[in-house]
Amino acid sequence: MSVASPIGKPSFDPALQAARQAAGPQHYPAGALYVVATPIGNLADITLRALHVLALADAIACEDTRHTQPLLRAYGIDGKPLLALHEHNEAEAAQAVIERLRRGERVACVSDAGTPAVSDPGARLVAACAAAGLRVVPLPGASSVTAAISAAGLAEGSFVFAGFLPAKAGERQAAVAVLAREPRAVVLLEAPHRIAALAEALAALGERRVTVARELTKQFEQIATLPCAGLPAWLAADAQRQRGEFALVLHTGSAAPPEDESDRVLKLLLAELPLKTAVRLAAELTGAPRNGLYERALALKAAGRPP
């Protein structure tokens, strides 16, 4: 996810000084990889410890050097060697980082925005360092996942992280069919050029609620909660709503058991009747909860069934 340019070029000199005072006395071992979270939109969402480590590091492994260089300069940090580490070269780049660590250097790992190794490069590097017996130090900070969860109002608190669903339509629909039977909340990420396709796929989940968070922490941040069935229309109502990076939270749902009597009855009715009618009759015949039957019916439709 991209980070907005600083408005009015604010000075982070006081923050750097505060970082040295607050984080400087801590121990930062040499020969360690520091996994550093950076802002997802608002430059002020950098931690004091992150600033200190970025200034202390001997080199910085980053997803895109063209992005990280101006980010560091905005914070008043310059002259650091930048090592490109992205999805296409991570295995090779990891070995170069390991060589530096074995020489006793401190290397910071950052992604374009947010926490590395969470739907961003970094996981292979961390695994390679751990396999080599080298220390990995995480520096927590900004995350679109936790930001979206905190704004979704999930009273139950339980969620799973699914990240980006497959780009191909058939695979995406199959993934949504699996999500239809997931009773916990689910966090998804999506890019602007694919959000409309994702919305169409999620519409199959009907009345299950979804919180859409776009441009989190940026000037035009927008957060809305609505039924999945209404998501395509919500996006289409304003062209601006399809711009920016997205984090979505599918709220908790109830899933019917896979092959019990209510499932068998539902499949038989769906073969002959419209979805809502089949669900209503299945609930009356079996006594199963209508909400669970409705989500199960949507899953069957999305998967291309019933036979």
**Between 142 and 296, the higher pLDDT residue:** 142
The pLDDT of residue 264 is: 77
Nearest residue to 68 (alpha-carbon basis) of 120, 19, 23? 120
Question: Could you tell me the strand order of the sheet in which 82-84 lies?
Answer: 82-84, 59-62, 107-110, 32-36, 135-139
CA distance 268 to 220: 48
**The whole model's pTM is what?**
0.78
Superfamily of domain 13-142: Tetrapyrrole methylase, N-terminal domain (3.40.1010.10)
CA distance 152 to 216: 13
pLDDT digits (tens, 9 = 90+) for 9-44: 678 999 999 999 999 999 999 999 999 999 999 999
DSSP state of 248: E
Superfamily of domain 145-250: Tetrapyrrole methylase, C-terminal domain (3.30.950.10)
pLDDT band at 258 (very low <50, low <70, confident <90, very high): very low
DSSP state of 43: T
Domain ranges (residues) in the chain:
13-142, 145-250, 261-302
pLDDT digits (tens, 9 = 90+) for 113-140: 999 999 899 999 999 999 999 999 999 9
